[in-house]
Structure 1
C-alpha cells in the first residue's frame, strides 16, 4: 500500500534497494547529495548528470521529464546518514522559468519488486528553480524517507550552498553546462499521408468542435456515466483498468462515426455499421456552467457546479468534496513546512552550540540570528502560499454556497424558503460544517451519502469539548435534542412523500418541548413511546421488520413480505438512553445498529456515554457503529486524506425562524395528498 506523504512527513522503508521516480511534465535535472550525521556534504558526495554514480547511488545522465534515481542503501558508505534527492530546471533550454509555471512534480519511491512504497506531490511552488524533493535518512540502523519539498529561487547553486558545499556555484555551473549539451533536440512533426495510413478511412462529415466549457479533450467524446464518476466516495485507487479504458475509447470512436439512415444505400466495400438504425444513444449530460472570461493576468473566477457529474446536484456534491480535499492538503502542506522550518532551526542551533568556536566572539550570536531569520522566512513563505489557497477556496465557497440544493444547504439558505417536496432521494445530506483553526471563517459543508450507511449519535455529554464544558447539563441536553429534531426534519424533507418514517422513544417524556415541531405537524408515525413498555414495543416492531426484510432480501423473495409492512426508510430517535432499557432492549438496540442500515432502519440516538457506563465495554461496539456529532462545536472528526482534526459545527435553525415548521407542514400535506 502506497503512503501518500505531505511535507515533513516520514515513512519507514522496508527495503534497501530502491528506485525513485519523478514525473515532472517537463525536463528536469536530477542530482543527489549525501551528508554525514551533522548534515555536512563533502565535495565528492554529489551525483549529477556529469558524474552520475556514487557508491550505492545512480542518477539520470540527462535532463528528462521522468528522471530516475537508483539507490542501494546497503552499498552507501557508513559515514553517510542522509541521501538528498534534488531536482533543478535546466537553464536556457526553452522550458519553464520556474516550478510555479508547471504542474506539481510527483515523486514515488518503489522497492525492488516494483511495489510503490511512498509518494509525494510537491505543491505550493512558485519562483523556485531548484528543490530538495525527498531525503532518505538513517535512524537507529533503519532507513526512512521524508517528504521535503523545499525550493530555492536562486537555483541549484543556492541549494548546494545551503547544504554546505564549498564549490556550490562551480558545481552548479558544470551541471548546467553538461545538461545543455545533452538536451535532445526536438524532431519536427511528420504529417501522416494516405499511403502511410493504409486502410484508415476518415468519416464523411467533419468532426464537430467541442462544446465551450466542456471537460472533453481532443480525441475523446465520452462522458463518464453515473457509476464511473470519480467522486469522493469512490475508492482511492488507480483509475479503471486497461480493458475498460480500451472499451470506452472504442465506444467513443464508434460514436463519432455518422449513423446512416435506414434507407440510405451502403457503399460497396465500405465499413459495416453495427448501430441500430432507429436506436438513439443516450444524450450526454449538460456541461457545467462556463466561467466568465478572466481578466488578463488574473485567474478564472470560480463557478458553482464546476466538477464532474451527470447532474447539477452531483457536480455540486463532487465540488464540495473537492474543496474539502483542497483545504485539507493545503493546510497539511503549511503545517509540514512550519514543522520542517522549526526542526531545521533546532538542528542549526544545536550545531552552533556544539561548536566551541562559536562561544568566542559574536559568531555564535550571528549564526543564531541567521538561523532564526531563515526559519521565519520559510514560515512566512508557507503562510503566503496558504493564504493564496485560502483566498481561492473562499471565493469558490461564496459562489457554491448559494447554489446548493436544500439537502446540501444551511437552514438560513433561501433554498429552504422556496422548498418543494422532492420526487426522488438526493445524493447526500448536510449534517453540519467543518473548519480548521488556520481558516475559521472558511466552512466546508459536511455531506454524508444517502441512504445513511450508519446511525447518528448526538452526544449530549460534556466530555472533550470546551464549548460543552461551559454549559450546564440541562442546557446541553436541550441543544442535543434540538439538533436531533432538526436532522430528523431534514431527512423527512429530502425524501419523497411517504418514503421516510420517524419513530421516537422518550421513556421519561423529557423531550416534549424539543419534539413539538415533529409532534405538532403530525410528521411522526405515532406518539413518542414512553415507559419501559413503549420502549419494548417499538424495538420489537422494528426488529421484526429488520428480520423480515433481511430474510426476503437474502432469499430473493421480496414479494412475500406482508402487505401491511411499511417499506419506507425508518428512523428511530432514542432519547435518555439507557433509561427504560433492560438487557433485552439493549440487545435489540445493538441489533438495529448493526443490521438495520442495510435494510433501511436507522438510529438517531441522543445520549451521554457516561450514563451507560454501568454496561462497561459491552456497549463499545454500539458507540463505534454510530457517527458521533455534537450539539456544540467540537474537533473530533478527521478527513480521509491527511487525518486532520476538523472542528464540527452543527446546523442550527435561525432564532425566531419558522422554516422548520413550514417545511414539516409541507411534508405532511404532500404525504396526505399522496395518501401515504
Structure 2
C-alpha cells in the first residue's frame, strides 16, 4: 500500500532499485544531488542535471518537462553518499512561470521494481519559490528511507545549490538553465501530466512482472544499475496528484508529438474519422501482449492511434535508456574491480591478479549480453506493434508512401495531429516512430538548408550533409518545405488553410511547382524586398486584429475581408530581401502568430543570417529545427537521447503529391 507522506514524514524503502516520478502542471527542471553524512555536496560531480544527467546509480532527464522519471539504484551510489535529494526548478525564459505559487502543487511518487507505489507526497504551501527540494532518500544504519521535504527557495536553483555547500552554485545554475534553453530548440514537445486511466500501459523501472503479466516486462540484469521496464497493456497507471482534476496543457514547445496524448473527452476529437465510442478499459492480460492497432485510450480511432504512437515513442526511449545504462554500469563495475586489483601490491601481479581480471571482464560481458537480450526482446515487441500500427494510420499520420493517400479525399474536419517525419535511435534496428505534431501548430518550423546546424553528438547528420553539395541541400530543404506545406493543406478541410510564400530571389520555384501548378497557392510567391514587405504587413495586421478582437471580446467585429482560415507563411532564402523592420515583423509572427492562427516555416541557413547576430537568437529558439537529410539533433523529453530525424519527403518518382493537391484545389473551386 502506498504511503501518503506530508512534509517531514519518512517511510522505509523496501529495495534499492526504484523510480521517482514527478508530475507538475508546467515543465520544470528535475535534478538530484548527493550529500555526505553532514548534508554537504562535496563536489560538483555529485549532482545530476540536464547538462550532465548521469551519476553512478542515478539518471535524470536532459529536458524540462511536466513529467519526470528519475531512475535510481541505491546500491550503485558512491559509498560515502548518505543522502540523495530530488530537486525541482522552474526554467528561466519569456512567458514561463517564475514561482511555484502560480502552479498546482507538484506531486512526487516512488515506485519499486514491480511498479507498485511505495510512497508519494504533494508539495503544498509553495508561493514565491522558484526551486524546491522535493524529497530526500537517506541512509540510516545501513537501510534507506524516503522523507518528504518540500523546502522551497525564492532565490532559485542557485540558492538551493549554495545551501548544500556548492561553492560555485551561481555558475552551475546558469549552466543548467543554458543547457535547458539550448535543448528546447531540439527537443520534442513535453507531454502534459496524465490522469489515471489515460494510458493503457506504463513504463516503469526494473525487472519483469513475471508470467502472471504475460512476461512482457523487462528483466532487470542481476547486477545491472538501472533498467526500465517495457510493460504489457495490463500495467496499472501511476497515481495522480489529488489536486489535479484536469490535464493541463503543455508548454508551447518543440515537438514531434506536440502537446502529448489527448485526454479522453465526451466528444470526438476534431478531425477524427472513426465513430465516437467510449475508450476501452484496460484488462488483465492472460498471456503475452498481441499488438493491436488503436489499443490505447481515446474516444475515436484517430485519437487512440495518436496516443499509441506516443506510447511507442516513450517505450523506445526508455528501453534504449535501460540498455545504455546497463552497459555503462557493466563498464563502470569492471573498472572498479580492476582498480581494486591494481591498488593492492599483493594482488597486482601473478595468477591471482590474472584470474581477478578475467573474472571482471567475464562479468562485464555477461551483463552486456543480458542487457542486449532484454533490448532485443523489447525491440521485437515494438517492431510487431509498428507493423500493425503503420498500415492503420489515417492519412494525416501516414507516410507519403502509405496506400491511404491513394484513396485521399479532402477531410470535413481538422485532425488532431499531423506527421512531420520519423524518429529512430542507433539501437532501434530500423524501427522508426512517426513524429506527430499537434494541430493547430503551436510552434513554427525552421528547415535547415545549411550543412552546419546544431547537430547531435553522434555526427550522423553531419555525415549525411557532407556527401551532398550546398546547392543540393538547399534544393532538398525547399522540397521538404513543399511536402510539409502540402500535407498541412491536405489535412485541413477545403478553405480552412491558406498558404503564403516568400521567395525573394525565385530560388525555390522548381520545388514550389506542385503548389503553384495545382492552384493550392493562391498567387505567385512574393519576390523581392517589396513582396517581403507586402506579405509581412498583411500577416502582421491579421495578428494584431485577431489579438485585439479576442482581448476585447468582440470577435464578431473583425473586418469582413479578413481571411479567418489558418495561415502558413513559408519563407525561402532568408535573409535575402529582409531589412531590420522585416526581421522584427518575422519575430513578431513567430512569437504571437500561432495564438492568432498565423504560423511560420522558414527555409534558412543560420550561418547566412549570422550578420544579424543576437537579434535572431530568440527566433531560432522559438522554431523547431528539422532537416532535409537524416540528422540526430532532436531529443526526447524523458531521457534526452539524440534521435535521428528523417524528413517527410515524397518518394522519388511518385505522383502522390500532385494527385493530392489536385483534389485539394478541386474541392476549393466551388
- Higher RCO (CA 8 Å, separation ≥ 6 residues): 2
| Alignment partner of 1:576 is 2:599 | no
Q: Structure 1 residues 126 and 152 mapped into 2: Cα distance closer, same or farther (>3 Å)?
A: farther
- Match among 639, 652, 658 for residue 655 of structure 2: 658
Show the counterpart of 1:565.
562
- Equivalent of 1:122 in 191, 205, 210: 205
**Structure 2 gap ranges (5+):** 1-6, 8-18, 23-29, 40-72, 82-115, 121-134, 153-159, 161-202, 212-218, 226-232, 238-244, 251-255, 267-274, 456-461
Separation (CA, whole Å) in 1 of partners of 2:615 and 2:37: 45
Equivalent residue, structure 1, for 2:508: 511
Q: Is the 8 A contact 1:289 1:303 kept in 2?
A: no
SS in 1 for 2:409: coil
Once the two structures are superposed, what CA deviation does each residue of 1:485-513 show, in whole Å capped at 9, x if it has no partner?
Answer: 00000000000010000011011111111
Which of 387, 390, 394 is the equivalent residue of 1:401?
Answer: 390
> C-alpha offsets along residues 279-304 of structure 1, whole Å, 9 cap, x if unaligned?
xxxx971555999x99x9x6232000
Query: How many residues are matched?
Result: 475
d(CA) in 1 for partners of 2:449, 2:535? 23
- Supply the distance in 1 between the matched residues of 2:75 and 2:400 (Cα, whole angstroms): 57
In structure 2, C-alpha distance between the alignment counterparts of 1:511 and 1:495, rounded to whole Å: 24
- 8 Å Cα contact 2:634/2:645 also seen in 1: yes
User: How many angstroms does 1:226 deviate by?
Assistant: 11
2:442–2:594 contact (8 Å) kept in structure 1: yes
Shift of 1:419: 0.4
Moved more, 591-600 or 351-360: 351-360
Q: Which residue of 1 aligns with 2:290?
A: 301
Residue 327 (structure 1) aligns with: 316
Task: Report the TM-score, using the length of structure 1 for normalisation.
Answer: 0.63
Larger Rg: 1
Query: Contact 1:483–1:652 (CA<8 Å) still a contact in 2?
Result: yes
Q: Are residue 366 (structure 1) and residue 329 (structure 2) matched?
A: no
529, 534, 555: which one aligns with 1:532: 529
**Structure 1 residue 111, shift from structure 2 partner:** 3.7
Which aligned segments of 4 or more residues in structure 1 are displaced greater than 2 angstroms?
A: 1-5, 13-18, 31-39, 65-76, 108-115, 120-128, 148-153, 213-217, 225-236, 286-291
Partner of 1:11: 32
Could you give the per-residue CA deviations for residues 420-474 of structure 1, whole angstroms, max 9, x where no partner exists?
1000000101000000000140000000100000111100010142211221111
Instruction: State whether residues 425 and 495 of structure 1, in contact with CA within 8 Å, keep that contact through their aligned partners in structure 2.
Output: yes
Contact 1:290/1:303 (8 A) holds in 2:
no
In 1, the alpha carbon distance for the partners of 2:615 and 2:648 equals 32
Give the Å deviation of 1:229.
12
How big is the shift at 1:36? 9.3
Cα offsets for 1:555-592 (capped at 9, x unmatched): 11111111011000001110110000111111111111
- The alignment partner of 2:401 has SS state of coil
Q: CA deviation at 1:307?
A: 0.4
CA distance in structure 1 between the partners assigned to 2:360 and 2:562 by the alignment: 73
Is 1:621 the equivalent of 2:621? Answer: no
SS at 2:589's partner residue? helix
Stretches of structure 1 that go unaligned for 5 or more consecutive residues are 19-30, 40-64, 77-82, 86-107, 129-147, 154-158, 160-212, 218-224, 241-247, 249-282
For residue 518 of structure 2, what is the aligned residue in structure 1? 521
In structure 2, the residue corresponding to 1:356 is in which secondary structure?
A: coil
Partner residue of 2:222 out of 151, 173, 177: 151
What is the match of residue 98 of structure 1?
none
Question: Is 1:649 matched up with 2:646?
Answer: yes
Q: Which residue of 1 aligns with 2:543?
A: 546
**Residues 1:348 and 2:359 are matched in the alignment:** no
- Aligned 1:156-195 pairs, distance under 5 A: none
Alpha-carbon contact 2:257-2:436 (below 8 Å) kept: no
Give the whole-Å Cα distance in 2 for the aligned partners of 1:517 and 1:365: 69
Deviation at 1:656, TM superposition (A): 1.2
Shift of 1:11: 2.9
Quickly say closer, same or farther: Cα 1:36–1:445, change in 2 above 3 A: closer
Out of 430, 434, 454, the position equivalent to 2:419 is: 430
- Asked if 1:492 is matched to 2:489, the reply is yes
Could you tell me whether the CA contact under 8 Å between 1:226 and 1:309 is conserved in 2?
A: no
Question: C-alpha distance in 2, partners of 1:226/1:496?
Answer: 30
SS in 2 for 1:441: coil
Distance 1:549 1:68 in 2: 48
